Amino acid sequence: MSRLNKYDEPTARKTKFYRDKQNGKFMGVCAGIADYTGIDVLWVRVAAVLVTLMTGWTLVAYFLLGMFAEKKPAHLYTDVQDQKFWQGVRQSPARTARDVKARFREIDRRLADVELFYTAKNTRLADEIESLR
């Protein structure tokens, strides 16, 4: 009898659409769309009602998504910051990549400032760091 470990479980993809039954009213489709896009769920529901009043196909799409979309895993995001990050990735991957690169450049600059501060007073430490490069 084989036991499953954490690596055998299927992993949830953070860029996939899921129904959000926890925050949903009926089937969790509007809450899932809100979670996927980062738009407030109230505005998604208002838009769904308006489009349904104009055309009837929205109800068909709603029920199809409600039946076939997977339920959102409870452990999909670790915190609110993680959720906002992945919503940004889904909205604009290129912009998110630029933001991440800019954050790393800022961290690198700050680390260089700290290194300069400590090595300016200690020439032996500066020589050791230079020899490691």
Domain boundaries, the chain: 10-75, 92-133
Mean pLDDT, residues 71-77: 74
Mean pLDDT, residues 84-105: 82
**CB 21 within 8 Å of CB 72:** yes
The three-class DSSP label of residue 4 is coil
DSSP 87: H
Per-residue model confidence as pLDDT tens digits over 96-133: 788 889 989 999 999 988 888 777 777 777 778 788 87
Paired tokens of 108 = 């690198």
Paired tokens of 112 = 């260089």
Q: Which residues contact 119 (CB under 8 A, 6 or more apart)?
A: 125, 126, 129
